[in-house]
Structure 1
Amino acid sequence: MITLGTFLLSLPVSSASGVRVPFLNALFTATSATCVTGLAVVDTGTVYSTFGQVVMILLVHTGGIGFMTMATVIALALNKRISLRERLILQEALNHETINGVVRLVKKVILYSLLVELAGAILLAVHFYFSLHLTVGRAVYFGIFHSISMFNNAGFDLMGTVNGPFSGMAPFINDPYINLVTMILIFLGGIGFIVLSDLIDFPKTRKLSLHSKVVLSATLVLIVVGTLVIFAMEFSNPSTLKPLHGGGKFMASMFQSVTTRSGGVSTLDIGSFRQSTQFMLILLMFTGAAPGSTGGGIKITTFVLLLGAVHAMIRGREDVVLFRKRIAKDVVYKAITLTLLSLLLIILFSMLLSVTEHQDFMSILFESTSAFGTTGLSMGLTTHLSPLGKIWIVFLMFFGRIGPLTLIYALSRDRKKDLFNYPEGRIIIG
């Protein structure tokens, strides 16, 4: 998908000026779109033509929903039988508990995605028509593009054609309609299709799975905590929240809290935040969204399992218990392994960027975490990346998008039981 996207975005027809976009910029954009990150070295609205923007949004849609999901839909449309191996891969890709009903879940994923994106497109198009004074066709196009981008947590926007390059969503900072619709789209895309399916079926089943309970409760807690922390830390900052009225301060704080979960759009200048706030955003980006969603990061369930393991250790318990359910030890081990590998990945690429980019370390760490978490937020470093820096970020976006899923799949297959146990040893901890 990235190779195909790079080729298409390199064509003269993809450029608004008719001049080929440099190969490295096309590769960066294709990777960012396919991995639903949102980092951009050039302004989407002014540099790419309508053809290029359509290519980007198709990459975003395929990357957000998942390649295997799209391939399965095409196979079903062609009346092709889904093999056992393909069902197993789908089970891992969608983080489904069993192989039963995985094809049915794929159909739900596509249906729910299209319905949410359609609703978002209509709501946004109507508002863009009246607020930006666009033609009907242009307003509809803007609505579709931004709805797909926000629901898939990509963060690309076309506002550069209206308010200037890289203006983003900042002009809408005091617009409650755009803020609310965008936050809902990001939230629905970030909780995952399994949770979305559970919520839709809830009126009939009157129950939620353990996974859905963990995702929903943890997501709400992180949004609330993030909102309060941003509000408190930036309240008196003249470059961010101070010029806004009381309600505007709270709305902007909530928007930044929601979007750091993998949304990729911002109504405030992240580079103007206080360092304490920026570091808190790094932690939120590292945590990311839910498994089986359009978002990235180590996933919110991994974060909850780590907290559960710490709580169990402090309380002297052997098992991690969530909502009165015991979590298998191998799942906890996977969470710890995934978190450590993710940290090592961010540390490695932050060191590489520190060598090639002459920027302060906070900007580099923020950029690395944003790329790994497929968040798309930046403190302004993206447009100043050197050629080698762009390559580092391309690799980090790629690993961030496929890493957790492929790692879990690799750790859970071909398991062999040890034929013997080693004698127990003791080492001192702490």
Structure 2
Amino acid sequence: MKKRKTTTTGIIMLGFLIGALLGALLLTLPISARPGQSIGFLDALFVSTSSICVTGLSTVNIGQTFSAFGQVVLLLLIQFGGLGIVTFTTMVLWLFGRRITLADRMLIQSAYNLDTLSGLVRLTMRILKVTLCLEGLGAVGYAIVFIPEYGYRGIWYSIFHAVSAFCNAGIDLLGGNSFCGYRDNVIMNLTTVFLIIVSGLGFPVYWEVARVLRPRRSDGRYGRKMNLQAKIVLTATLALILAGAALTLLFEYDNPATLGPLGWPRKALAALFQSVTLRTAGFATIPQESFRPASCLAYLVLMFIGGSPAGTAGGVKTVTIVMLIASMLANIKGKKDVTVMNRKIADEAIRRCVAIVTFSFSVLMALTVALLAVQRSDFLDTLYEMTSAIATVGLSRGLTGALYPAGKLIVTLTMYLGRIGPITLALVFNSRTPADNISYADSKVIIG
């Protein structure tokens, strides 16, 4: 009997699942908890899934519940889950003893816009080096604040939060109030903002920016043109950050529970942090339940979009939304082709974008209804929680700690699907080959 071969998408899904289960088992060990503390398997599974899916939602107080061993387990889960899709795929394939074939290389290259089929392991090492370098810079920034405050323990705090911020996990050790105690600390804010932004750009953008900035060998001059992927990512990222900050200032400038008591420089800093952390980071300098409904509705959109492809951020991704907007505008204007920055976009790419957004939104709506049915919580709080989970953001309006067992399972499933859903869809679409060459007759239907 011929043994059935496990697909790459199946390996990725199984890898995340095994990682979450293994992390949960380690977190339930007595050595993982502080003296006098304990954690059940369901809460351990929730926290483990949140960590490896770099979400940040937690049903327990991380800093007060877990010992040094438990915190190291969380750090490894965050680092492993947030290294990036290409790195994670390569590592999982290696762990399963599967040779990285030419088909796998082509699959990953097509799905994540890589510029080479060779040197996948070498590329993985490049990603690891860049990750450790940027996390090291972040740790230095945090150390300026944490070491004077916590002494030697501040070194561990600096490393943990640098990894958590770069991987967009949003998990902290500060007592359950995230970074609210550092709302006006410029160093803490800017360090976190830096780590979130650079990690959310995606690793291919790093290579492209480095290529553009590198002088040409022929004449030593600069002037290489940036590819479309990097242009879209950088433009969309800047636009979304500015839009989020502007909307926060507009809706919250006189809210006594958020920006109202602050002077304008501090208002701007808090608004910038809130806009950036919505890009799937999960840290907060202002309690999310304090924001007005108008702000929260805008935040739902920003969370759902998330970061950019092939990075540590979640969401449906900036490039996906830009493609859909371009397609909409082309249809409104009656254009035959979809173009972005004077470049034609393939119909296949548009179909992928539609599928990813439809999948994510469908899962979000279905599981939100399920959570409302079992939890009977406030609608806005529930939708905020589930959008945060599906986009692996980690922000909550206070619902996480009040979840019933069934609610915990629903949110855990949402975090898992939110992390692996867009990945597996992209890989499935890229691995599809036409079954035949049959062409069917066109038929017109009424739309709209």
- Structure 2 residue aligned with 1:224: 242
* Aligned-CA RMSD value: 2.0
Q: How does 1:3-18 map to 2 (within 5 A)?
A: 3-17=21-35
What SS does the corresponding residue of 2:214 show, helix, strand or coil? helix
1:141 aligns with 2:156: yes
What SS does the corresponding residue of 1:317 show, helix, strand or coil? coil
Q: Deviations over 1:255-284 (max 9, x none)?
A: 010010111011011111110100110000
1:427 aligns with 2:442: no
| Residue 89 of structure 1, CA deviation | 5.4
Question: Aligned pair in 2 of structure 1 residues 229, 368: CA closer, same or farther (>3 Å)?
Answer: same
What SS does the corresponding residue of 1:265 show, helix, strand or coil? coil
Q: Which amino acid aligns with 1:109?
A: I
- Name which of 382, 396, 410 aligns with 2:414: 396
| Residues 107, 430 of structure 2: 8 Å contact kept | no
Question: Aligned pair in 2 of structure 1 residues 127, 93: CA closer, same or farther (>3 Å)?
Answer: farther
- Structure 2 residue aligned with 1:106: 124
| Residues 85, 311 of structure 2: 8 Å contact kept | no
Q: Deviations over 1:296-343 (max 9, x none)?
A: 111111000011001111121111111221111000011011111111
| Residue 104 of structure 1, CA deviation | 3.3
Q: How many residues align?
A: 420
| Residue 388 of structure 1, CA deviation | 0.4
1:168 aligns with 2:168: no
Q: Which amino acid aligns with 1:170?
A: C
| Residues 16, 47 of structure 1: 8 Å contact kept | yes
| Residues 36, 60 of structure 1: 8 Å contact kept | yes
- Structure 1 residue aligned with 2:44: 26
Q: Percent identity of the aligned residues?
A: 38
What SS does the corresponding residue of 2:122 show, helix, strand or coil? helix
Question: Aligned pair in 2 of structure 1 residues 73, 369: CA closer, same or farther (>3 Å)?
Answer: closer
Q: Which amino acid aligns with 1:210?
A: L
| Residues 108, 427 of structure 2: 8 Å contact kept | no
- Structure 1 residue aligned with 2:165: 150
2: CA distance between counterparts of 1:64 and 1:411?
23
Q: Deviations over 1:1-52 (max 9, x none)?
A: 1111011001011111254311100000000000000001111111111110
TM superposition score normalised by structure 1:
0.93
- Name which of 385, 390, 393 aligns with 1:375: 393
What SS does the corresponding residue of 1:326 show, helix, strand or coil? strand
Question: Aligned pair in 2 of structure 1 residues 311, 42: CA closer, same or farther (>3 Å)?
Answer: same
- Name which of 299, 313, 317 aligns with 1:299: 317
- Name which of 367, 373, 393 aligns with 1:355: 373
- Structure 2 residue aligned with 1:245: 263
- Structure 2 residue aligned with 1:259: 277
- Name which of 193, 197, 201 aligns with 2:203: 193
| Residue 359 of structure 1, CA deviation | 1.1
- Name which of 32, 42, 53 aligns with 2:71: 53
| Residues 92, 405 of structure 1: 8 Å contact kept | no
Question: Aligned pair in 2 of structure 1 residues 70, 398: CA closer, same or farther (>3 Å)?
Answer: closer
Structure 1 alignment gaps of length 5 or more: 161-165
- Name which of 293, 309, 320 aligns with 1:275: 293
Q: Which amino acid aligns with 1:245?
A: G
| Residue 223 of structure 1, CA deviation | 0.4
TM superposition score normalised by structure 2:
0.89
| Residue 202 of structure 1, CA deviation | 2.8
| Residue 105 of structure 1, CA deviation | 2.5
Q: How does 1:81-100 map to 2 (within 5 A)?
A: 82-88=100-106, 90-91=108-109, 94-96=112-114, 98-100=116-118
1:385 aligns with 2:371: no
2: CA distance between counterparts of 1:76 and 1:410?
20
| Residue 85 of structure 1, CA deviation | 4.7
- Name which of 163, 184, 190 aligns with 1:180: 190
| Residue 107 of structure 1, CA deviation | 2.0
What SS does the corresponding residue of 1:56 show, helix, strand or coil? helix
1: CA distance between counterparts of 2:48 and 2:85?
15
